[in-house]
Structure 1
């Protein structure tokens, strides 16, 4: 019987993501097979392959969906509960707690994944990329610039802060998350101090960076000059080497 027009199409990718997270709460990463995920999701391996290329791709989709859920739940700047007029530290605190709230249904799975994936050396670069991408969007949602040298430093700092906070959150059974919030507060304080030092150093180094740019530009101009001179010389002399007699 044909599906009714009002019936929503099945979200196969979402089913696979949820299946992986259910299995991850019970097994280590290397004990979860593709066929296990497919069976848990109620899809064939062919359907799985059509949706994802690997377990890592499923995990990346999970991260993307969490990012999207957090961003969609952020209040508009003009909303009464907006943090837009608050200090940067408070905005970051709010966004990070919102992300933890979105992750709460998956805490058991994430705790086990965190432990087992640390032993998977080949997975670490991909995990780092996922963390950077997520925190880039979280910082942007908090109104924090992530571009340029200082932006990249803020981004790396946010990843480190969040990783440390997660270690506390995994075992924080208090519904109010007092230990988690205290850890986040401490880590943000530490991060602020480090960023201030880095920003001071960056400002102090500005004259040296300017001098280096001038030096590099001068070298580039000098090299262009000699390349053009050599090219002009070849054009004048032509290809007839007999017209050139070396000095004896």
Structure 2
């Protein structure tokens, strides 16, 4: 079994597992990176857990310890982006407008996704052809958008907040379509699309009437 040296991942969901001799076995981040590489080459629909294991240089058992399904890989990939965005986010302050804070959070998310844009383009095409394959993504997306609202200063984990979470998810997916075609260095088209959407919907997202 391959062992890796170094400290555990700072993200609890992606923490490596201790092997029987006390060393770290193949960690989740390495497997996720391998999954992205396979998806870029084959597309998400044709990627298999065996392909991912081969790309990571580990056995299927190592993959299974972290990700018992392709859906789990997809959800963990989203969670890793969430963690990267939230790690740079402080507590919401009253001095900053909700809309501005949410704008910054989502743009930070697109910046974090930028190195993986070609992979996301390939996956986006596959998921459009096979909508059922996107089913594992729905709860992960809802969780992500709930955390973006919370980080911006709006409660989003109560039952009645679900509509606002769904609204933000719709905005995010709409802006993502622009982002996928926006090859500018400053993501100007993406910023314009997001700003336009938030100008219209920020009061409702915050819990106030439009």
TM-score (norm 2): 0.81
Q: Is the 8 A contact 1:23 1:37 kept in 2?
A: yes
Residue of structure 1 equivalent to 2:21: none
Q: How many Å separate the matches in 2 of 1:75 and 1:145?
A: 15
Residue of structure 2 equivalent to 1:175: 185
Matched, 1:73 2:97: no
Q: Is the 8 A contact 2:53 2:59 kept in 1?
A: yes
Q: How many Å separate the matches in 2 of 1:15 and 1:84?
A: 39
Q: Counterparts of 1:120-139 in structure 2 under 5 Å?
A: 120-139=130-149
Once the two structures are superposed, residues 72-94 of structure 1 have per-residue CA deviations (whole angstroms, 9 ceiling, x without a partner) of 111455xxxxx652211111101
Matched, 1:166 2:181: no
Residue of structure 2 equivalent to 1:49: 64
Q: How many Å separate the matches in 1 of 2:85 and 2:75?
A: 16
CA-based RMSD of the aligned residues comes to 2.4
Q: 1:84 to 1:170 in 2, by over 3 A?
A: farther
- Structure with the larger helix share: 1
Name structure 1 gaps, 5 residues minimum.
78-82, 202-248
Matched, 1:23 2:38: yes
Q: Counterparts of 1:219-234 in structure 2 under 5 Å?
A: none
Residue of structure 2 equivalent to 1:99: 109
Name structure 2 gaps, 5 residues minimum.
8-23
* Larger Rg computed on CA atoms: 1
Q: 1:84 to 1:67 in 2, by over 3 A?
A: farther
Once the two structures are superposed, residues 178-209 of structure 1 have per-residue CA deviations (whole angstroms, 9 ceiling, x without a partner) of 1000000111123247x39x9659xxxxxxxx
Residue of structure 1 equivalent to 2:50: 35
May I ask how many residue pairs the two structures share in their alignment?
190
